[in-house]
């Protein structure tokens, strides 16, 4: 199985993503520099990591969403490849149009960084199947612009189509309908603000992130 992590200037969770994917698959992911890198042929899973791409100038993820590597990411998605965008990666996926909605400043106007309780809203997805039977998990969050917003028509669509993967149990940022993670229409792309790659060992933020990577590898 082939995996890849896209690295932007300002990414700071790319190594966490690398470690999580290696632990899940047993092989090193390709670390792809956004400007002149190439996503290897046959890549199954691409992870867009967290951080502060381009210093979060303009809107978070706006500049990264127009990077040269994005055309390859879009082609991968068009082929039905799997994509996981975490935190800044979620913001970038929204900027590219791969996911609906947008992420704006937290309602509190403060940066939040803590373990966060999540409800597994749909355990019948490529990213959540290993959570079957578990109602609540804990995954770390660390963001300033994690307030998920969309128009009511879009929110109703993602609800009715089972595309809400996770909800916050105690909303830390004001996200519409407590949404913490949302899926694409084909279910092969997930964007989420919490960091599952920071919850893959007891020395970190617990182990509740392991099941997400297990689910994804199993689906791929």
**Catalytic member of 87, 94, 95, 121:** 87
Torsion sign over Cα 138, 143, 147, 150: negative
In whole angstroms, what is the distance from residue 12 CA to residue 9 CA? 9
**Catalytic member of 34, 143, 144, 195:** 195
Q: Is 195 a catalytic residue?
A: yes
Q: Is 152 a catalytic residue?
A: no
Per domain, the residue ranges of the chain are 3-219
Element (H, E) at 154: helix 152-160
DSSP 189-216: EEEESS-GGG-SBTTTTBSTTHHHHHHH
Residue 81, C-beta contacts closer than 8 angstroms, at least 6 positions apart: 43, 44, 45, 46, 188
Please write the tens of the pLDDT for every residue from 100-156: 999 999 999 999 999 999 999 999 999 999 998 888 999 999 999 999 999 999 999
Query: In this structure, which CATH number among 3.40.50.2300, 2.120.10.30, 3.90.550.10, 3.40.50.880 belongs to the domain 3-219?
Result: 3.40.50.880
Q: Band of the pLDDT at 73, cuts 50, 70, 90?
A: very high
């Amino acid at each position: 199985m082939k995996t890849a992590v896209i690295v932007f200037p300002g990414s700071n969770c790319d190594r966490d993503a690398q470690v999580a994917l290696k632990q899940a698959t047993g092989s090193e992911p390709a670390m792809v520099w956004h400007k002149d890198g190439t996503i290897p042929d046959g890549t199954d899973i691409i992870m867009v990591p967290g951080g502060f791409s381009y210093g979060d100038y303009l809107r978070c993820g706006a500049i990264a969403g127009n990077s040269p590597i994005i055309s390859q990411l879009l082609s991968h998605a068009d082929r039905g490849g799997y994509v996981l965008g975490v935190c800044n990666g979620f913001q970038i996926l929204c900027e590219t149009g791969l996911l609906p909605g947008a992420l704006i400043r937290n309602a509190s106007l403060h940066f939040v960084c803590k373990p966060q309780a999540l409800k597994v809203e749909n355990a019948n997805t490529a990213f959540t199947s290993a959570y079957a039977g578990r109602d609540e998990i804990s995954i770390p969050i660390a963001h300033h612009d994690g307030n998920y917003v969309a128009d009511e028509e879009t929110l109703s669509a993602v609800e009715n189509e089972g595309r809400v993967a996770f909800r916050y149990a105690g909303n830390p940022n004001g996200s519409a309908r407590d949404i913490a993670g949302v899926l694409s229409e084909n279910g092969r792309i997930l964007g989420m603000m919490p960091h599952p790659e920071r919850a893959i060992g007891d020395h970190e933020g617990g182990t509740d992130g392991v099941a997400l990577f297990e689910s994804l590898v199993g689906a791929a």
